[in-house]
Chains A and B, each alone.
Chain A
Amino acid sequence: MTIDDLAGRLGTAADEVEGIRAELEREQPAPGAAAGLPSREVLEQMTQAWIVQREMAARIVEQIRRLAGDVAQAAENYRAADSLDQGHSRGD
Chain B
Amino acid sequence: MKKDKLKKYALRFGIAFLIALALLTYFSTTIDNILLPQVKVTEVTYGTIDGEQSRDDRYLLPLSAVDATGNTGTVFVAKTDENNKTTVSEVTVDIKNSDDLYYEVTSDNIYSGMEVVYSTSKSIANGDRVHIVEEE
Q: Do A and B come from one complex?
A: no
